[in-house]
């Protein structure tokens, strides 16, 4: 066979050298004219095909519309080969040159390599799981290669060497610090030392009253340091080599500017559970500027975890928890304690579902306790909250879904009335408001206020099938934009290839599950929890629920990868993905997941009788 066989394309990229030789020895080349049926109802599946040149379209048996397309380096049809029955008609859309591997050769490869078999034959869930498992092995290595300043390094506190120890102890208490850096300007040359909580014993045993004992006499000098850009693994090596529990972190640029102190416990926590450090940084923040730094660390953590192979569902869950802490602490710094106690700050949309990764438009609101009179400057307080989030990098919502907008704050009674209006007199805007609110998640204050509004909303929705059908019909909002399908099936120069993953992938899955959850009166807000509850109640087939969730996570992962690439290039995150830039495996999975979207839409049309709407 020609040496040009591409072993970098899926599923052949997981083959060992001996297995690649099996392919070389067993492969043939087949030629098909435009319009030829490669596989059809009367053609038994005997080979696995890999396209060299040309394009192949797949149709459902008896169907007239293409359901998938295969270009150079794409593989088809392993599923037909396994079952012995064709999964559809495969037709050459133009002249096609393809490698073909017999069933015997393919079976031999499967017997030797489980990953190859999983990618080739498994359902969508197992295929995605096999890839995630491969990526996960590199996570710890990725963390060790992260820069030191990816850790929430503790800010330095400086004191002069003649400062008394008692004053230093008071600083420990007021700043929640465990160490100070001691500047001895009288030494020649000037030197920098450290005094820690554990050194207090030495100070007490010195014999001099603490209010008259200069800290310079009991401090340790000759500090060990690392640079902000050093790998975390190198910092760990330095600590072990010098037998110290903390190192001073110096700026990367020239000079000896100290930017913080890295403690061993923080480093180990980063390697074991690095989100802990950001959580601590948020909890200890005393002003909005400190919270802004923590917010930047969240974005860097997302990038780190993604590069390390952490599954996107796990990243999203972690980000939701950290963002909730961020929003809670921001509200506590902005609003008076009385308002915090008598209100419930909510986040909605992807943030409420726990599916937001990179920063997107704000979706938040404020519920007030019935009978409570908010402060007279409520408008100004809410405006400060919105502006703080803008400063953190969360853009204002174009639709005004923010607590600075009076329409998105009010008492429980007022909110329940608005929700009833959205439900019973729905137009386009009201349907969107209802959809956004159904994903509401409490992040600060009294969560019972949100539960009260949701309970009244579900009571109104009971058995209102026409209303539910109108609500669910939004899954077809972008179905008419069929240009995206041709972008997957063909890669011509005259076609705009960039896909809006939110419109064509995420929205129909998320809103379809949201509609089923509303009909079932489920209090869950995340798509994963809703699918689990719906499957447990028999409202959706377990297999379809699994495929919907795996497809959702795949779309999220594509969008995240593209967004991180845009951020690295200094661009605004667009939410769009270019299929031509995907590797063959991701392109193959994109076709699979878009098929799941199509099947799920069909299920929703039957469930809610959408053809009659």
Query: Residue 134: pLDDT above 70?
Result: no
Is residue 45 within 8 A of residue 81, CB to CB? The reply is: yes
Cα separation of 251 and 543, whole Å? 53
pLDDT of residue 60: 78
Q: For 280-312, what is each residue's pLDDT tens digit?
A: 788 888 899 989 888 888 888 888 777 767 788
Three-state SS for 13-25 is HHCCHHHHHHHHH
**What's the CATH code, domain 275-462?**
3.30.460.10
Tell the residue number behind the tokens 């996107």, with chain if given.
312
DSSP 441: E
Question: Does the pLDDT value for residue 204 go beyond 80?
Answer: yes
Q: Is 32 helix (H, G, I), strand (E, B) or coil?
A: strand
Instruction: Write out the H or E segment, with its range, that includes residue 110.
Output: helix 103-112
Where does the pLDDT of residue 333 fall: very low under 50, low under 70, confident under 90, or very high at 90 and above?
Answer: very high
Q: Which residues touch 499 (CB under 8 Å, ≥6 apart)?
A: 484, 487, 488, 505, 576, 577, 578, 579
Q: Do domains 12-121 and 472-612 have the same CATH topology?
A: no
Q: In what order do the strands lie in the sheet with 225-227?
A: 225-227, 246-250, 258-263
Question: CA–CA distance from 100 to each of 46, 78, 93, 121, 283 (Å)?
Answer: 9, 11, 18, 16, 60
* 12-121: in CATH 2.60.120.10: yes
User: In this predicted model, which residue has the larger pLDDT, 315 or 265?
Assistant: 315
In angstroms, the CA 100 to CA 64 distance is: 26
* Contact indicator for 45, 117 with CB cutoff of 8 Å: no
| Range 472-612: architecture per CATH | Up-down Bundle (1.20)
CATH 3.10.580.10 assigned to 152-269: yes
Greater confidence (488 vs 209) lies with 209
pLDDT at 308: 66
Q: Please check whether residue 435 is in contact with residue 473, taking contact to mean a CB–CB distance below 8 angstroms.
A: no
Of residues 132, 146, 133, 134, the one with CA closest to residue 303 = 146
- Is the pLDDT confidence value at 143 over 60? no
Give yes or no for residue 476 having a pLDDT over 50.
yes
Least confident range from 52-56, 356-360, 380-384, 456-460: namely 456-460
In degrees and rounded to multiples of 5, residue 12 shows phi and psi of -80, -10
Amino acid 136: pLDDT: 44
* Domain-wise residue ranges, the chain: 12-121, 152-269, 275-462, 472-612
**pLDDT interval class at 219 (50, 70, 90):** very high
pLDDT tens, position by position, 167-193: 999 999 888 888 999 999 998 889 999
Q: pLDDT-derived band of residue 245, with 50, 70 and 90 as boundaries? A: confident
Residue 557 has a pLDDT of: 92
Cα–Cα distance between 566 and 178 in angstroms, integer? 40
Average pLDDT over residues 251-266: 82
- Structural contact between residues 95 and 53, judged by C-beta atoms closer than 8 angstroms: yes
> How far does CA 26 lie from the centroid of its chain?
42
Q: Which ranges of 264-363 would DSSP assign to H, the alpha helix?
A: 264-273, 275-284, 288-308, 312-334, 337-341, 349-353
Stretch among 105-114, 172-181, 501-510 having the lowest mean pLDDT: 105-114
Q: What average pLDDT does the segment 421-435 reach?
A: 82
| Residues composing the chain | 613
Residue of 99, 43, 112 lying closest to 70 (CA atoms): 99
Would you state the pLDDT for residue 145? Answer: 65
């Amino acid at each position: 066979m020609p040496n040009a066989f591409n072993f970098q394309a899926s599923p052949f990229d997981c083959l060992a050298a001996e297995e690649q030789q099996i392919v070389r020895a067993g492969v043939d080349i087949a030629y098909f004219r435009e319009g030829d049926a490669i596989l059809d109802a009367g053609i038994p599946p005997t080979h696995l095909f890999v396209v060299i040149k040309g394009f192949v379209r797949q149709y459902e048996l008896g169907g007239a519309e293409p359901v998938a397309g295969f270009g150079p380096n794409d593989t088809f049809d392993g599923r037909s080969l396994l079952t012995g029955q064709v999964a559809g008609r495969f037709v050459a859309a133009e002249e096609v040159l393809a490698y073909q591997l017999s069933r015997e050769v393919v079976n031999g490869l499967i017997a030797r390599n489980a990953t190859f078999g999983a990618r080739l034959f498994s359902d969508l869930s197992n295929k995605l799981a096999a890839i995630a498992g491969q990526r996960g092995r590199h996570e710890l290595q990725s963390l060790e290669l992260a820069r030191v300043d990816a850790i929430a390094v503790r800010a330095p506190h400086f004191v002069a060497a003649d400062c008394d120890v008692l004053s230093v102890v008071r600083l420990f208490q007021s700043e929640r610090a465990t160490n100070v850096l001691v500047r001895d300007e009288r030494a020649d040359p000037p030197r920098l030392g450290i005094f820690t909580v554990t050194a207090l014993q030495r100070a007490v045993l010195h014999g001099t009253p603490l209010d008259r004992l200069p800290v310079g006499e009991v401090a340790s000098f000759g500090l060990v340091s690392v640079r902000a850009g050093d790998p975390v693994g190198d910092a760990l090596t330095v600590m072990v080599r010098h037998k110290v529990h903390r190192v001073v972190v110096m700026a990367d640029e020239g000079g000896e500017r100290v930017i913080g102190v890295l403690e061993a416990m923080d480093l180990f926590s980063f390697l074991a559970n690095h989100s802990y450090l950001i959580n601590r940084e948020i909890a200890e923040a005393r002003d909005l500027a400190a919270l802004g730094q923590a917010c930047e660390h969240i974005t860097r953590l997302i990038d780190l975890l993604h590069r390390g192979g952490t599954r996107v569902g796990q990243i999203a869950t972690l980000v939701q928890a950290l963002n909730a802490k961020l929003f809670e602490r921001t509200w506590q710094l902005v609003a008076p304690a009385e308002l915090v106690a008598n209100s419930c700050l909510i986040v909605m949309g992807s943030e409420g579902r726990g599916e937001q990764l990179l920063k997107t438009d704000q979706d938040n609101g404020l519920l007030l306790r019935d009978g409570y009179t908010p402060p007279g400057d409520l408008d100004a307080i809410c405006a400060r909250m919105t502006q703080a989030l803008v400063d953190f990098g969360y853009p204002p919502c174009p639709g005004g879904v923010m607590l600075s907008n009076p329409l998105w704050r009010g008492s429980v009674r007022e909110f329940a009335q608005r929700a009833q209006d959205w439900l019973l007199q729905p137009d386009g805007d009201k349907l969107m408001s209802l959809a956004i609110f159904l994903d509401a998640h409490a992040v600060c204050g009294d969560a019972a206020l949100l539960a009260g509004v949701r309970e009244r909303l579900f009571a109104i929705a009971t058995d209102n099938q026409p209303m539910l059908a109108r609500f669910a019909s939004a899954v077809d909002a972008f179905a008419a934009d069929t240009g995206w399908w041709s972008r997957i099936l063909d890669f011509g120069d005259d076609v705009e290839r960039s896909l809006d993953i939110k419109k064509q992938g995420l929205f129909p899955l998320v809103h379809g599950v949201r509609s089923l959850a509303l009909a079932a009166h489920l209090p869950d807000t995340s798509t994963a929890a809703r699918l689990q509850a719906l499957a447990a109640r028999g409202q959706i087939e377990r297999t379809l629920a699994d495929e919907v969730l795996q497809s959702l996570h795949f779309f999220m992962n594509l969008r995240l990868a593209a967004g991180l690439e845009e951020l690295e290039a200094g661009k605004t995150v667009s939410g769009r993905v270019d299929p031509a830039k995907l590797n063959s495996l991701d392109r193959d999975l994109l076709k699979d997941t878009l098929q799941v979207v199509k099947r799920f839409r069909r299920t929703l049309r039957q469930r809610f009788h959408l053809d009659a709407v």
